[in-house]
Amino acid sequence: MTNLSKAIDALKAFRDERDWAQFHDSKNLALALSIEAAELNELFLWSKNPELPLEKQHRLKEELADILAYALLLADKNGLDPVEIVLDKIQLNTEKYPIEKSKGSANKYTEL
Amino acid sequence: MTNLSKAIDALKAFRDERDWAQFHDSKNLALALSIEAAELNELFLWSKNPELPLEKQHRLKEELADILAYALLLADKNGLDPVEIVLDKIQLNTEKYPIEKSKGSANKYTEL
Amino acid sequence: MTNLSKAIDALKAFRDERDWAQFHDSKNLALALSIEAAELNELFLWSKNPELPLEKQHRLKEELADILAYALLLADKNGLDPVEIVLDKIQLNTEKYPIEKSKGSANKYTEL
Amino acid sequence: MTNLSKAIDALKAFRDERDWAQFHDSKNLALALSIEAAELNELFLWSKNPELPLEKQHRLKEELADILAYALLLADKNGLDPVEIVLDKIQLNTEKYPIEKSKGSANKYTEL
């Protein structure tokens, strides 16, 4: 695994070379992220197969990269460490979804 | 920065302890991600301030963590390295948005 | 079918009695609509059945109503007649998706 | 106002001429709706103006038409009358947001 900080630094350099930080308030970053999430979902629309055919894998890769990019920029703007917040959330979910009650069931899982 | 692999491993352990991999096809993971993205956006809805007040920061942290979690699980399921795909996308965008043409302008930026 | 104008008038009366028009700029109405769309999608998340069980039908009804409400308010704010714009779009799509090329195929359909 | 039933009939005729009902399960219709909602939101992304310039109004018209089209098809598939469900929801919200407590305030409004 290459280093996550390297990706964050590259994203910020890309942004700053274009003077785009002025557009990147948190509300717009969140909106951009959800638009990319919709483009990701579009790859699966109307298909009976919940996995992508090989010829669409490069689009999955690109849409997922856009989502991660905006998530990392939004975390950075709000002083959050992406890895720490994921680990903290797993901790919360461990309490919320005890293994014995959650095993094999999608009930309440939608509220994750 | 703590290690990203550690977060991915923790996410997969959490999932497997609950036998939830059966629900995690790529289409549903993408859908789950976009639902979390909407919950993130809801924090900013109706507000005139594009940044969050302090008392909502913990919710930003949690929604962003959920988004990252699903993005990491979806990348893992499709054999993608999260850091590599972000770096590759920056490469693509560097060609698509040359500095001299993009500087300070949000034009065409929406197609990022 | 009861009258659509009656619903639009009721939505505007509800809004104005609460002095909420001040929050209803087009950007926020569009954002609110997409958040309700995500809540609608959440009803289907993780399920293997693409139709809803009876006990979730009332939630479909409510989420769809919220979506329609924001769509009608956004149309009204921008001087658009909801029925006319749907009929105009069908006209456009009739040219874009000729029957002989589109019949039974979901190809390119995602770009509808 | 032209008649809503006319739009619904035209949507179903368009769908049936192309034999597309086979793709229109409720889960995919809901997903399609949320993707169109994201395309609507994209019109507002990065802009400081929450209203659209004249040259983007035709796109608002088209995206809103797509959203309404999927909402009407989804209502029809689930035996719901679009006007009735909006009127019923206004009734519910009237109880949930009493005028005296809600006037001029966006508090809790996000939970509409």
Q: Is A64 exposed, middle or buried (0-12, 13-18, 19+ CB in 10 A)?
A: buried
Determine the Cα–Cα distance for residues C27 and A11; give it in Å rounded to an integer: 27
A65–B22: do the CB atoms touch at under 8 Å? no
Distance from CA of D66 to the nearest CA of C (A): 7
C contact test, residue of B20, B31, B36 with most C CBs within 10 A: B31
Return the pLDDT at D108: 54
- Residue D53 — left, alpha, or beta (φ > 0 → left; ψ -120 to 50 → alpha)? beta
Please report residues of D whose CB lies closer than 8 A to that of C27.
Answer: 44, 47, 50-51
For residue B106, pLDDT beyond 90: no
Q: Among residues of chain C, what percentage have pLDDT more than 70?
A: 93
Determine the Cα–Cα distance for residues B106 and A20; give it in Å rounded to an integer: 8
Is the ipTM higher than 0.85? The answer is: yes
Distances (CA, A) of A69 to C50, C72, C79, D10, D87: 31, 34, 37, 42, 41
C30–D22: do the CB atoms touch at under 8 Å? no
Question: How much is the average pLDDT of B17-37?
Answer: 97
Label residue A111 by pLDDT band (50, 70, 90). Answer: very low
Please report residues of C whose CB lies closer than 8 A to that of A45.
Answer: 110
> Would the pTM count as exceeding 0.90?
yes
A58-92: pLDDT as tens digits? 999 999 999 999 999 999 999 999 999 999 999 99
Kindly give the residue spans of alpha helices, DSSP state H, lying in chain A: 4-17, 26-42, 57-77, 82-96, 99-102
B47–A40: do the CB atoms touch at under 8 Å? no
- Among D88, B64, C12, D105, smallest CA distance to A71 is for B64
Return the pLDDT at D112: 43
Which stretches of chain A sit within 8 Å of chain D by CB? 23, 28, 31-32, 34-35, 37-39, 41-42, 44-46
Please report residues of A whose CB lies closer than 8 A to that of B25.
Answer: 50-51
For residue A56, pLDDT beyond 70: yes
Say which of B65, B71, B106 has its CB closest to residue A67: B71
In total, the C-beta contacts within 8 angstroms joining chain B to chain C are 35
Give buried/exposed letters for C60-74 (b at 16+ CB in 10 A, else e).
bbbbbbbbbbbbbbb
Label residue B112 by pLDDT band (50, 70, 90). Answer: very low
D6-51: pLDDT as tens digits? 999 999 999 999 999 999 999 999 999 999 999 999 999 999 899 9
- Among B27, C112, B93, B64, smallest CA distance to A80 is for B64
B49-86: pLDDT as tens digits? 999 999 999 999 999 999 999 999 999 999 999 999 99
Q: Largest Cα–Cα distance of chain C, in whole Å?
A: 51
Distances (CA, A) of C86 to C8, C90, D10, D68: 16, 6, 9, 7
Between C105 and B87, the higher pLDDT residue: B87
B106–D31: do the CB atoms touch at under 8 Å? no
B35–C38: do the CB atoms touch at under 8 Å? yes
B contact test, residue of D26, D29, D33, D34 with most B CBs within 10 A: D34
Please report residues of B whose CB lies closer than 8 A to that of A23.
Answer: 106, 109
Determine the Cα–Cα distance for residues D44 and D35; give it in Å rounded to an integer: 15
Label residue B92 by pLDDT band (50, 70, 90). Answer: very high
Q: Mean pLDDT of all residues in chain A?
A: 93
CA closest to C38 among chain D residues: D34
- All partners of chain C with 3 or more CB pairs under 8 angstroms: A, B, D
A83–B3: do the CB atoms touch at under 8 Å? yes
Give me the DSSP letters along C38-60: HHHHHTTTT-S-SS--GGGHHHH
